[in-house]
Amino acid sequence: MKLYNFFRSGTSHRLRIALNLKNLTYEQVAVDLRREEHLGEAFKAINPQQMVPALNVDGLILTQSPAIIEWLEERYPHPPLLPSSPLDRAHVRALAAIIGCDVHPINNRRILEMLRHDFAADETAVERWCQTWIGHGFDSFEAQLASPSLRSNFCFGDRPTLADVYLIPQIESARRFKVDMARWPRLLAIDAACSTLESFKHAVPSAQPDAS
């Protein structure tokens, strides 16, 4: 497998975690978003949408991190990222969707670049934008974890699931945008538990070959 990604990309980060949790070996190819390499013809030939990550599997290019992670779960079901019960799987998918559908899309690089260049937002305004929507999402996420029956070191059960795969990169992003995490103690506890696992340690942006 060959993973086209950028060290600081949240979607790339989540896919690295999923690949690591599945104990899969992959080669990394850096696509530097700061230099807009994703907009060049070379990468457009790999992914016409010109977004990271993209995963080359035996010459077939997979795109969109949710679809790639679902494929990983189907192709490499052990260890699982989803619980066995259909209701529990729905709960975990809903947690992941808070991040993947409601938080990350309006805080990703292309949105922030549009705020800067088309709406003349300064960095204070950009940070406020990110803090607002990350905060709303984390409030909802924490509330979903309030049930005593769900208490564990992770988002659900005694091992990382799809929900943790989505949550941890968003926490990384939240810290980059100076979000005060103190109001979400459960999320902080989950982040601390995940940070002890090699799969998460090796996926962090600062540990990537293109980190700078």
Domains and CATH numbers, the chain: 2-79 (3.40.30.10), 86-200 (1.20.1050.10)
| pLDDT value at residue 150 | 59
pLDDT tens readout for residues 35-68: 999 999 999 999 999 999 999 999 999 999 999 9
| pLDDT value at residue 206 | 96
pTM of the model: 0.95
Asked if residue 151 has pLDDT above 70, the reply is no
Retrieve residue 190's tokens.
């989950």
Q: How confident is the model at residue 199 (pLDDT cuts 50, 70, 90)?
A: very high
- Letter string b/e over residues 143-156, b meaning 16 or more CB atoms within 10 A of that residue's CB: ebbeeeeeeeebbb
